[in-house]
Structure 1
Amino acid sequence: MKASEKITGNQLSFLLFTFIISTNLLTVPSFMVMFSMQDAWLSALLAPVTGIVSILVMIELAKRYPGQTLTQYCSKILGNGLGKLVAANYVYYWFVSITTITMQHTGFISTLLLPKSPVLIISLTFLVVCGLAAHLGIEVIARSNEFLTMLLLVFFVPLLILTVKEANFNEIKPILSDGLFPVLRGAVNPAGGFMNQVFILGWLLPYLNQLKAARKVSFIALSGISLISVSIVMLTIMIFGPLTGKLTYSFLSVVQYIGIEGSFERLEAIAVSTWVIGCFVKVSVSMFIFSLCVSQLFELRNYRSMIFPLTLLSLVGSVWIFRNSAELLNYLAFTFPLLAFMNQSLIPLLLLLIDSMRKKMKRSLFQ
């Protein structure tokens, strides 16, 4: 497969950054505090290790199978039958991912902005816009995301600075009071699951105009994600302490707490804007990958023909998979990390190991 659309290294870096940080902004601190308490910021420091492994694995596979996505070269590594099963598994994974993000976004918007609007209408309008972006292609999404990411940072970084004056360093003490295990658990569970989403490189690298730049830009993106994630978690704990684990949108509560009296108040509008921008980019990229997976599984020529029906399917999933927000939060805290580990870490790593063993056996046979 030769990708006709192309993105630059900087665009790839911005896509990775926005894709991961969008859902980390408001929800991840509370999940991490559930496992690590006041040491959650240490978990945020350890979590990028899984992302480093994913970057190295996905780039190595892309070098061995240039111009092909993960759902294509898994059939060449595992054989047609088993490869199709893995590809079908990723179709299901992206379907659940899109519906989960959509339900998160819908719950957020209906709770804070549009409490009287039907949930179905909020989900529909959101998915239609994301579907249109996916139909335009990854090149258009990447170009628009360059501007949107800079806008997100211009809005969000000042919020981080404003929180510093309200922070209480004593809230993160004592450090490692319960040992290292809770920290590792916090890093492996929600933080590791979200941070390891750099595995989207498996579908984006074929569209990169210079593959040799992939490692550099990916690590730059991961560094930025890690810096902001650690800052968010640490500042949230310093302001709310143990209460962080009980808040659904913990950093939003931080933003509502801060402000410059008489000058800037109701700053949560900025946090809401960054959430909407991030979710739009994340679901647009996910819809693009979802349609790619389906079209490549069934060997269709054009992925765009699948976007409209898949958008409708995602709409059905967003109101059907989880009955309420409690089920969604339970899934994100306990089920998603296991699903993420299998799909984002284990399967790509096994593909690389199997491919390396096959190549080694072939060399030994012909020597």
Structure 2
Amino acid sequence: MQATEKITGNQLGFLIFTFIISTNLLTVPSFMVMFGKQDAWLSALIAPITGVVCILVMIELAKRYPGQTITQYSSKILGKGLGKLVAANYVYYWFVSITTITMQHTGFISTLLLPTSPTLIISLTFLVICGLAAQLGIEAIARSTEFLTVLLLVFFIPLLILTIKEANFNEIKPILSGGIYPVLQGAVNPAGGFMNQLFILGWLLPYLNQPKAARKVSFIALSGITLLSVSIVSLTIMIFGPLTSKLTYSFLSVVQYIGIEGSFERLEAIAVSTWVIGCFVKVSVSMFILSLCVSQLFGLRNYRSLIYPLTLLSLVGSFWIFKNSAELLNYTAFTFPLLGFINQSLIPILLLLIDSIRKKGTRSMVQ
């Protein structure tokens, strides 16, 4: 832990917002419509409920163990052996997350912008930039995110406004024609894999200079994520209807459609810019957290010395873990929600439950 590194409440809110919405922008609508059909916008309203639980759990744990990350206080709650196992599990989780996002980013850029460029070069340059940001520390990442988030919204909100003109509200009817079950299915992917990423609070709260502001800024960020996610999903369905589930980058297709039908051309460049900004913030924060997890697992004082080796390993992993885009799509649609639920929700809830039982037992023995 670097005592000199501190972030403000506003910076924490921007980090949470951009970290989560970055992957929601272009890919989540297709996953939600795959299950929720035309009611997927209702799924986007339900999914944040798990985010609320996640915020409350992580803030409560941070209050009980101030100045410590989840990989540190897990050893105090579970004992050294099990605590180290939890830390090792999070090392694996964040490593896979970084490699997954890198492969998504590389596939996106190579498909749309640089089809003749070697994917190795695209991945390498992206990871090097993210590694440099992580090397500078969470304070530098948070300050850059303040500017980048505003830039992302300045780019993206006009696209939403242009989309409304082409929207067909009949595409979201009839509402709940298949009952509530498909809606809940559609909420599983963003709930398990994206909304619960608010558990990054377990590593960011020790750096917050105003701990009391954590709850407020986290809920404000979650509200912004929910509003934008519902808007994106709804407008995508209103443009493409059932076809949404078959599109890899569904909202990008919406943007391209607007460019064809309207007076503006090459609007996808704006969507690509928002994607790059979001992925940069997400991987930079993930790389910082991964280096923290490794340093705390092995008792190292300086996490920065690990960033470059981890960046190299992440580059290797982005080509080794998934053989092709089909495997990646299958992982993000079906495997990651379960993996996300276990790591982002189940483990923190169990830690809080076990800690509460232990403290209650200790008070009973004292009395």
TM-score w.r.t. length of structure 1: 0.99
5+ unaligned residues in a row in structure 1: which ranges?
none
Does the CA-based 8 Å contact 1:38-1:242 persist in structure 2?
yes
In the alignment, what sits opposite 1:255?
255
Q: Measure the CA separation in 2 of the matches of 1:48 and 1:117.
A: 38
Shift of 1:2: 6.3
In the alignment, what sits opposite 2:226?
226
Q: Measure the CA separation in 2 of the matches of 1:268 and 1:160.
A: 13
In the alignment, what sits opposite 1:156?
156
- The aligned amino acid for 1:270 is I
In the alignment, what sits opposite 1:38?
38
- The aligned amino acid for 2:335 is T
In the alignment, what sits opposite 1:79?
79
In the alignment, what sits opposite 2:29?
29
In the alignment, what sits opposite 1:166?
166
Q: Measure the CA separation in 2 of the matches of 1:123 and 1:49.
A: 34
- The aligned amino acid for 1:239 is I
Q: Measure the CA separation in 2 of the matches of 1:44 and 1:4.
A: 38
Q: Measure the CA separation in 1 of the matches of 2:206 and 2:81.
A: 23
Q: Measure the CA separation in 2 of the matches of 1:303 and 1:287.
A: 10
Matched, 1:121 2:114: no
In the alignment, what sits opposite 1:361?
361
Does the residue aligned with 1:243 lie in a helix, a strand or coil? helix
Shift of 1:288: 0.1
- The aligned amino acid for 2:254 is V
* Offset from partner CA, 1:265-315 (integer Å, 9 cap, x none): 110000000000000000000000000000000000000000000000000
Q: Measure the CA separation in 2 of the matches of 1:82 and 1:4.
A: 30
In the alignment, what sits opposite 1:298?
298
**Runs of 4+ residues over 3 Å off in structure 1:** 259-263
- The aligned amino acid for 2:293 is C
Give the direction of change, closer, same or farther, for the CA distance of 1:262–1:52 in structure 2 (3 Å limit).
closer
Does the CA-based 8 Å contact 2:51-2:191 persist in structure 1?
no
Shift of 1:191: 4.2
* Offset from partner CA, 1:90-145 (integer Å, 9 cap, x none): 00000000000000000000000000111111100000000000000000000010
* Offset from partner CA, 1:6-42 (integer Å, 9 cap, x none): 0000000000000000010000000000111101000
Does the CA-based 8 Å contact 2:16-2:198 persist in structure 1?
yes
Does the CA-based 8 Å contact 1:43-1:183 persist in structure 2?
yes
In the alignment, what sits opposite 2:274?
274
Q: Measure the CA separation in 1 of the matches of 2:166 and 2:195.
A: 27
Does the CA-based 8 Å contact 2:36-2:183 persist in structure 1?
yes
Q: Measure the CA separation in 1 of the matches of 2:261 and 2:226.
A: 31
* Identity percentage of aligned residues: 87
Report the aligned-residue RMSD: 1.0
Paired positions, count = 367
Give the direction of change, closer, same or farther, for the CA distance of 1:263–1:238 in structure 2 (3 Å limit).
closer
In the alignment, what sits opposite 1:64?
64
Shift of 1:193: 1.7
Shift of 1:255: 0.3
Q: Measure the CA separation in 2 of the matches of 1:19 and 1:258.
A: 27
In the alignment, what sits opposite 1:135?
135
Does the residue aligned with 1:252 lie in a helix, a strand or coil? helix
5+ unaligned residues in a row in structure 2: which ranges?
none
Does the residue aligned with 1:4 lie in a helix, a strand or coil? coil
In the alignment, what sits opposite 2:94?
94
- The aligned amino acid for 1:45 is L
Range with greater deviation from structure 2 (250-259 or 185-194) = 185-194
- The aligned amino acid for 1:172 is I
TM-score w.r.t. length of structure 2: 0.99
- The aligned amino acid for 1:62 is A
Shift of 1:263: 4.8
Matched, 1:289 2:280: no
Q: Measure the CA separation in 1 of the matches of 2:334 and 2:3.
A: 37
Shift of 1:260: 8.4
Does the residue aligned with 2:115 lie in a helix, a strand or coil? coil
Give the direction of change, closer, same or farther, for the CA distance of 1:262–1:182 in structure 2 (3 Å limit).
closer
- The aligned amino acid for 1:127 is L
In the alignment, what sits opposite 1:108?
108
Give the direction of change, closer, same or farther, for the CA distance of 1:340–1:261 in structure 2 (3 Å limit).
closer
- The aligned amino acid for 1:329 is L
Shift of 1:4: 2.4
- The aligned amino acid for 2:172 is I
Q: Measure the CA separation in 2 of the matches of 1:238 and 1:173.
A: 10
Matched, 1:210 2:181: no
Does the CA-based 8 Å contact 1:48-1:192 persist in structure 2?
no
